[in-house]
Structure 1
Amino acid sequence: MTAASPDTGVAPGKRTLRPLAGVLAAMAVSLTGTRVSAVALPWFVLVTTGSATRTGLVAFCEMAPYVLVKALAGPRVDRVGPRTVSWTTDLASASAAAAVPLCHALHLLSFPLLLALVAVIGAARGPGDLAKEVMVPEAADRGGIPLERATGLTGVTERLAATLGPAAGGALVALLGPLTGLVVNAGCFALGSVIVALALPRRVGRGHEDASPEASEAGYWQRFGEGLAFLRTQPLLLSVVVMVGVTNLLDAAFTAVLLPVWADASGNGPSVIGLAGSTAGVAAVVGSLIAALAAHRLRRRVVFFTGFLVAGAPKFLVLALDAPLGGVLAVFAVSGLGAGFLNPVLGAVLLERVPRRMLGRVNALGDSLSWAGIPLGGLLAGAAVASAGLAPVLLVCGAAYFLTTNLAGLRPEWRDMDRAGKATDLGGEGTHSLAGET
């Protein structure tokens, strides 16, 4: 008799790539739609209101519910199962996104209603993104794919979305108007919901729950507390959360306000937002592919901090210096190449240290804490640009990015990044490694 995998219960002879392909496809379409919206929505607000502050407020109202609901969704994802959470929340996001152009066409779209709708989109996106992330390790097991390679493929998928989405968003906004981009966003969420419902087995992600009576009777807040208690025992993960939290705030300020305001002020228009984003995205795809193929042979810490060095501060500085478009695109290409190495490393570090049965809780908390500054990024950038002007804000943000990513690396716990982590199962099943091939 052929032995089944202890992680998934899937016999080696019955391994299939369909679950991993389904998760990656669902990620691809939903993230592409989100990237289209990231161009279309700020531009829609900017040209209809003429206010950088209101543009930042819209970004805040989408991302604040995203972060909050994602933080609280972890125990529910672990208990209900990520597949169900993924397709239902994508359907909710599609409905809210479609309501924006519909209400505008009916002359019902007031600014408060727009804020409410983007808040619903953000609140639904948070658990949906989390659920897809949680399904990756089991989907990889079912296909016999090493974990680090699966996270590399996830990084490639994210970067492809970051390439195609801004290009499509910029073209749609320039040719057909920003509301067309929101219609495309709604269609992408709906397609992602269908893919997950059809391609993923019903019990994906639910095979690692602790079957003890105490665990089955544990309430929501007990499960939430277990995830928080585990995260507090992981110095490396906590340091990652803090550093990435600061850089995410700065990246949100850049994407939601600084880049659109620069595109408008420079006279390049919305198409250059898509062009710049796609240039960075193509380079990031290359970086992610290299990471997927060779990450297990490279020292993670060196790759990680080198990636942040070129991915962060230079893109702020090149806009502040009013460089020609060719120079801007060259910097964005180098920035994207460095960024392509980051998420595969982060994903492997997380997944090899967290017990599978707690992955939803811990991943939700880690993601939400590291994303906590994103809602404030656009809000603060809009207010800062309105009061101080674009160039000074770009310079300050670039300096903050450089200092954050370099000072963090001086802490001793970062040395653990180069060692495969061990995830201790708090349910009493002993210790097992979640690392892929090294």
Structure 2
Amino acid sequence: MSSRGTGVAGRARLRPLAGILTALLVAQSGTRISAIAIPWFVLVTTGSATQTGLVAFCEMGPYVAIKAFTGPLVDRVGPRRISWVADVVSAAVALLIPLLHAGGMLSFGVLLALVAVIGAVRSPGDLAKDVMIPEAAERSQVPLERATGLEGVVERLSGTVGPAVGGALVALVGPMAGLGVNAACFVLGSLVVAVALPRGMGRPHGRPAERGGGVSAAEGGYWHSLRQGFAFLRGEPLLLTLCAMIGVTNLLDAACAAVFVPVWAKESGHGPAAIGLVWAAFSVTGTVGSLVAAAVAHRLRRRPVFFLGWLVTGAPRFLVLASGAPLWAVAVVMGIGGLGGGFLNPIIGAVTYERIPPEMVGRVRGIGQALTWAGIPLGGLLGGAAVAGAGLGPVLVAAGVVYFLTTHLAGLRPEWREMDRHRGRGRAGSVHPATPADATPSAS
């Protein structure tokens, strides 16, 4: 076969993974833009850190609550259909916010309600895309661990594009323009899922006609399926410990993103562009870290890399904001933190996917993500109240200390040895097809 023919065949083979990663990139970039636009809009119009945190709570509360119960629906209806519908509805609601604001009808209560709807609808859409990663890796003949590494790259890249665009839009045009771009991103993401993914991808798991017999996810009923997901997670100590650790760090990260950094940008006089700069620095190096993880992490032991990543990406970010350091120093520390953090999600993704049977991915991932995200709605709310009561500096120092203790005291538990014990086993005990360039599945 000619090199041109080989290249065409290779691109066709990688289409499933490239398609779902593109959909993730577009949707997550739009979400990052709105994560800057909405808090800044509330902060400058109300001057209240508490109300800024309340907006974050109203988005993430429904997001987390819905995600806990969405898994059986994704398994039964199919992730592709759920993703498409969620993106279309999210786009419509996101566009409604600037339209109501332009018409003078956007009260604070209406904003809270619309933000809550966006969070509730975005939750199943995000889970559906996440669930399609293992299938996309298998169809593209890419080892699962490398696919999760690339998923981490996409997450970090969206964290670079989104904050940079969001900060610039807010500074130059205003926060409502950011929400318009967010709506456009949801529309584009829905088109990618509908058109770019191969036919047949993202169908419901467990249909007897498609799996050669067995029990359909729908046969036991919704609540039976949900109980199965809880029972499986209870029997996995490593996954439960991961959920507990990440739940605490997500709470602190949410407070940092929704309240600490915007208040720091306002009090320091740097303005909204500085918000985009520091998060872009974090995400640029995080993208580099994820790329390195996808390429070479199979040569490294997961556990030491995992905890070193937490050490670098955790407490230093909070402490540098509290120190009064100049903007360039904050950006440097954020960049170093991003580099370490780039190794975390690829490792977490590989560990969880390889331990969950394919027909239960929606249920178990949905429940697990709901647990790990449970603190995010409270992060903005508690962060705003803490800053209002004690001031930004003391709260940042306390958050840094808690972050360090959570990520390193948890590492003393014995189940962390399972991280390396299951490497290369693949999902549900099977090894994914390896690429010709690397016959050994890699860890990322």
TM-score with structure 1 length normalisation? 0.93
Q: What's 1:5 paired with?
A: none
**Following superposition, which runs of at least 4 residues in structure 1 exceed 4 angstroms of deviation?**
12-15, 213-216, 421-425, 433-436
CA deviations over 1:288-312 (Å, ceiling 9, x no partner): 0000101211111111111111101
Q: What's 1:241 paired with?
A: 243
Contact 1:148 1:344 in 2 (8 A): yes
CA deviations over 1:155-200 (Å, ceiling 9, x no partner): 0000000011101011000000111001101110111011001112
The alpha-carbon distance between structure 1 residues 435 and 265, as it changes in their structure 2 partners (threshold 3 A), is farther
Q: 2:232 aligned with 1:230, yes or no? A: yes
Contact 2:50 2:384 in 1 (8 A): yes
Contact 1:249 1:376 in 2 (8 A): yes
User: What displacement does 1:325 show?
Assistant: 1.4
The alpha-carbon distance between structure 1 residues 223 and 263, as it changes in their structure 2 partners (threshold 3 A), is same
Match of 1:353 among 352, 355, 359: 355
Contact 2:75 2:217 in 1 (8 A): no
Give the 5 Å matches for 1:60-209.
60-206=57-203, 208-209=205-206
- What runs of 5+ residues in structure 1 fail to find an aligned partner? 1-11, 426-430
% identity of equivalent residues = 62
Q: Which amino acid aligns with 1:226?
A: Q
CA deviations over 1:321-370 (Å, ceiling 9, x no partner): 11111211110110000111011000000110000000000000111100
Report the number of matched residues.
422
Range moving further from structure 2, 207-216 or 117-126: 207-216
- What runs of 5+ residues in structure 2 fail to find an aligned partner? 1-8, 209-213, 435-440
Q: What's 1:3 paired with?
A: none
Tell me the secondary structure at the aligned position of residue 323 of structure 1: coil
User: What displacement does 1:71 show?
Assistant: 1.1
The alpha-carbon distance between structure 1 residues 214 and 263, as it changes in their structure 2 partners (threshold 3 A), is closer
CA distance in 1, matches of 2:158, 2:426: 31
CA deviations over 1:3-48 (Å, ceiling 9, x no partner): xxxxxxxxx9997211111100010011000111111110000001
CA distance in 2, matches of 1:116, 1:392: 32
CA distance in 2, matches of 1:112, 1:13: 51
Range moving further from structure 2, 239-248 or 203-212: 203-212
Q: What's 1:378 paired with?
A: 380
Q: Which amino acid aligns with 2:273?
A: S
Tell me the secondary structure at the aligned position of residue 409 of structure 1: helix
CA distance in 2, matches of 1:315, 1:38: 19
User: What displacement does 1:82 show?
Assistant: 0.3
Contact 1:310 1:335 in 2 (8 A): yes
Contact 2:245 2:410 in 1 (8 A): yes
User: What displacement does 1:432 show?
Assistant: 3.8
Q: Which amino acid aligns with 2:399?
A: C
Give the 5 Å matches for 1:214-363.
215-363=217-365
User: What displacement does 1:419 show?
Assistant: 1.7
Contact 2:144 2:426 in 1 (8 A): no
Match of 1:368 among 367, 370, 375: 370
CA distance in 2, matches of 1:213, 1:147: 25
